[in-house]
Amino acid sequence: MSAPAPFNPADARFAERIRRSFERQKAMALIGAALLQVEAGRVEIGLPFRADLTQQKGYVHGGIIGMIADSAAGYAAYSLMPASASLVTVEYKINILAPALGSLTAIGEVVKPGRTLTVARAEVYAALGKHVATMQQTLMMLPDTPDLPADQ
């Protein structure tokens, strides 16, 4: 049994909304990332290892690590928002803590939800819990803006 969620989502159906949004992220499909767990204020994304995700030394590219961390923390923030809002990444800062080999898991969590700005974090782990990256991120809510391409 896990502890009760510390955050109050504005939309009870946030998990379904996030799953649909994630499916529209073609860049996540390109790298083979999968949405694992979705809770209020906490989202997990998995990335199975593939050789075409690596940099010149054979480790997973730092930018790829940034992609799953950015999405995990962003969706953690998005889980608390009203259904009518969308969200943009304002900025993030990521430390690469160790060379990333093998499959990865990114865990995003909200640090401080806000009316306009939300601050979130993500931790990225490789096999056996090896900590490979830590990220701090700022997101901005756009009220009454659909989470869809502008022409839809």
Query: How far is 123 from 74, CA to CA, in rounded Å?
Result: 13
Positive or negative torsion for Cα 62, 139, 74, 5: positive
The size of the interface with a second copy (CB under 8 A), counted in residues, is 58
First to last CA, the chain: 41
For position 129 contacting a second copy by CB under 8 A, the verdict is no
Sites for a second copy among residues 73-92 (CB under 8 A): 86, 88-92
User: Which residues lie below 8 Å from residue 22, measured CB to CB, with a gap of 6+?
Assistant: 28, 35, 71, 75
Q: HSE on the CB side for 116, CA within 13 Å?
A: 1
Identify the residue among 25, 46, 49, 83 touching a second copy (CB under 8 A): 25
Q: Which single residue is written with the structure tokens 């946030």?
A: 14
Q: Judged by CB under 8 A, does residue 141 bind a second copy?
A: no
109 binds a second copy (CB under 8 A): no
Q: Does 103 bind a second copy (CB under 8 A)?
A: no
Judged by CB under 8 A, does residue 24 bind a second copy?
Answer: yes
19 scored as a contact of a second copy (CB under 8 A): no
Interface positions with a second copy (CB under 8 A): 21-22, 24-31, 51-58, 60-64, 66-71, 86, 88-99, 111-112, 116-117, 119, 121, 131, 134, 136, 138, 140, 147-151
